[in-house]
């Protein structure tokens, strides 16, 4: 009989451990989920970093997936479609979940395979490692012990990274990349309910921010995924402000998009269909008003395909061909439309800071109200600074592509009084 999930007890064990981080020497391909097989920018770059189609050898670890065999088959077929040889794509059979497509096998019995030295040897012979999507807590459970020690398989992955190989992952496979890992929660839940450290029975129904420990391949800050699509800026900011003694940067990666990190020069590139948001809290202040967070003077930047960011200097380098928007703004909207069911234009984070702010000469500031109930909410305010910059190009598909650097962001809890006009 197929198992529907893993026991709550095992989940609880793995929410509070510490996995010590170290710096690698290779590259990371951190995908925000929803990676399409036809995303040539991401797949070609990852394969190039692994040595090219003829030499690349990948270890696929489906530990996060609820359907590990199906996840393995999918990524294997995709890599082969880009020229990687089938015999150079290796299943690392580690999982805590049973795949319902394999009626004669129980993949949940792979749960202890993180200690398999034969699998570790296979990984050491690879130039790239791929972590599938699913639930990031499963991967951490499978690859670390209860006291935070790395398994032989995880040690082998680190060896690949330290030798200059590439480590990639999508969705849950992206969440594990930072040392401080977001396990669950929504933006409004994080702002209203704060942070929890375990997902026990008392927290089953909460939208609070679950923070745990990740693997720590990415040393520059906290990573979040499905970012713009699931409106996760609030939860990432709460995670960052809680961790500001260690980090002042956080990175939100959109779906079908990759943050590509070079450890040797601390350079980040963006590849794919959407974008990446950078939150900088170096000069931000945090206080509480009636138990709710008030956060001021955050800096927000946004990059899309072909853009780069130098962590050492904080410099954003726009993709070739992009032109500056400051002084050349296309739009003149004094009151950009807020989102709502009567609005034809949704106000995603991208829309707010690109079309409605950096490429809009009609205003220097935009406020966005988010209700928590009929009279309370959070007011998000985005403001151009003298140092703010924007860049724009229309790509070959006649789509707008933007880069934005150093927009001020403030979050304030507010009480709203509405009076019907008479």
User: 383-406, pLDDT tens digit by residue?
Assistant: 999 999 999 999 888 899 999 999
pLDDT at 344: 62
pLDDT band (50, 70, 90) for residue 18: very low
Nearest-angstrom CA–CA distance, 299 and 228: 17
Q: How far is the C-alpha of 383 from the C-alpha of 406, rounded, in Å?
A: 9
**CA atoms of 389 and 94, how far apart (whole Å):** 46
Q: With pLDDT > 90 as the criterion, what percentage of the chain qualifies?
A: 86
pLDDT at 19 over 90: no
Q: What is the pLDDT of residue 15?
A: 43
- Is there a contact between 157 and 122 (Cβ–Cβ < 8 Å)? no
Strand, helix or coil for residue 310: strand
**Is the pLDDT confidence value at 123 over 90?**
yes
Q: Taking the chain, what is the end-to-end CA distance rounded to the nearest angstrom?
A: 65
- pLDDT bucket at 308, cuts 50 / 70 / 90: very high
> Are the C-beta atoms of residues 347 and 337 closer than 8 Å to each other?
yes
Q: What value does the mean pLDDT of the chain take?
A: 92
pLDDT average, residue stretch 197-211: 81
CA–CA distance, 142 with 139 (Å, rounded to integer): 5
Q: What is the DSSP letter of 151?
A: P
> Residues 10-25: what's their mean pLDDT?
50
Find the mean pLDDT for residues 34-48.
Answer: 98
The pLDDT assigned to 6 comes to 37
pLDDT exceeding 70 applies to what percent of the chain? 91
93-114 residue pLDDT tens: 999 999 999 999 999 999 999 9
101-105, 330-334, 338-342, 353-357: which range is least confident on average? 338-342
Q: 211: helix, coil or strand?
A: strand
Residue 147 has what pLDDT? 82
**pLDDT at site 345:** 61
Q: Is the model's pLDDT at 5 over the cut of 90? A: no
CA 207/CA 192 separation, integer angstroms = 9
CA 132 to each of CA 22, 41, 59, 251, 267: distance values in angstroms, whole numbers, following the listed order: 22, 18, 11, 19, 24
Domains parsed from the chain with CATH numbers: 8-299 (3.40.50.880), 321-386 (no CATH)
Find the mean pLDDT for residues 270-275. Answer: 98
Residue range 338-350: average pLDDT?
72
User: Contact 221/40 with Cβ under 8 angstroms?
Assistant: no
pTM (two decimals): 0.93
- Whether the pLDDT of residue 12 is over 50: the answer is no
How far apart CA 124 and CA 103 sit, in angstroms, is 31
Q: What is the mean pLDDT of residues 323-347?
A: 82
Would you list the DSSP string of 248-308?
A: SEEEEE-TTEEEEEETTTTEEEEEESSEEEEEE-TT-EEEEETTEEEEEEEEEEEEETT-E
Question: For position 342, what pLDDT does the model report?
Answer: 62
Residues 62-72 have pLDDT tens digits of: 999 999 999 99
């Amino acid at each position: 009989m197929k198992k529907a999930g893993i026991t709550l007890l095992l989940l609880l064990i793995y929410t509070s451990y510490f996995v010590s981080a170290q710096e690698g020497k290779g590259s990371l391909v951190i995908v925000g989920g929803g990676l399409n097989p036809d995303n040539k920018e991401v797949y070609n770059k990852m394969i190039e970093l692994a040595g090219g189609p003829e030499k690349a050898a990948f270890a696929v670890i489906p530990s996060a997936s609820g359907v590990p065999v199906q996840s393995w088959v999918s990524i294997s077929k995709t890599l082969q479609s880009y020229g990687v040889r089938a015999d150079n794509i290796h299943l690392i059979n580690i999982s805590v979940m049973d795949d319902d497509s394999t009626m004669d096998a129980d993949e949940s019995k792979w749960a202890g395979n993180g200690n398999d030295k034969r699998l570790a040897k296979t990984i050491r012979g690879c130039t790239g490692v791929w972590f599938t999507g699913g639930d990031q807590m499963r991967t951490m459970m499978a690859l670390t012990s209860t006291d935070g020690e790395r398994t032989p398989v995880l040690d082998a992955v680190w060896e690949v990274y330290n030798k200059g190989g590439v480590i990639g992952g999508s969705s849950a496979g992206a969440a594990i990349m930072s040392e401080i890992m977001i396990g669950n929660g929504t933006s409004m839940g994080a702002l209203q309910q704060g942070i929890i450290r375990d997902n026990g029975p008392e927290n089953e129904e909460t939208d609070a921010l679950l923070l745990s420990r990740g693997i720590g391949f990415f040393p520059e800050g906290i990573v979040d995924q499905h970012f713009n699509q699931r409106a996760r800026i609030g939860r990432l900011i709460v995670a960052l402000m809680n961790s500001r003694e260690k980090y002042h940067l956080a990175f939100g990666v959109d779906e079908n998009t990759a943050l590509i990190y070079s450890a040797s020069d601390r350079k980040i590139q963006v590849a794919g269909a959407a974008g990446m948001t950078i939150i900088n809290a170096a000069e931000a202040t945090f206080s509480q008003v009636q138990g709710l967070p008030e956060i001021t003077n955050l800096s927000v930047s946004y990059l899309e395909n072909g853009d780069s960011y130098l962590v050492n200097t904080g410099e954003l380098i726009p993709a070739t061909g992009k032109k500056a928007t400051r002084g050349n703004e296309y739009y003149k909207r004094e009151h950009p439309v807020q989102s709502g069911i009567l609005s034809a234009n949704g106000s995603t984070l991208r829309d707010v800071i690109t079309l409605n702010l950096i490429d809009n000469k009609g205003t220097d500031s935009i406020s966005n109200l988010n209700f928590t109930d009929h009279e309370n909410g959070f007011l998000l305010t985005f403001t151009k600074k003298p140092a703010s910059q924007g860049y724009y190009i229309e790509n070959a598909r006649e789509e707008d592509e933007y880069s934005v650097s150093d927009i001020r962001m403030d979050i304030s809890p507010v009480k709203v009084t509405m009076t019907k006009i008479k």
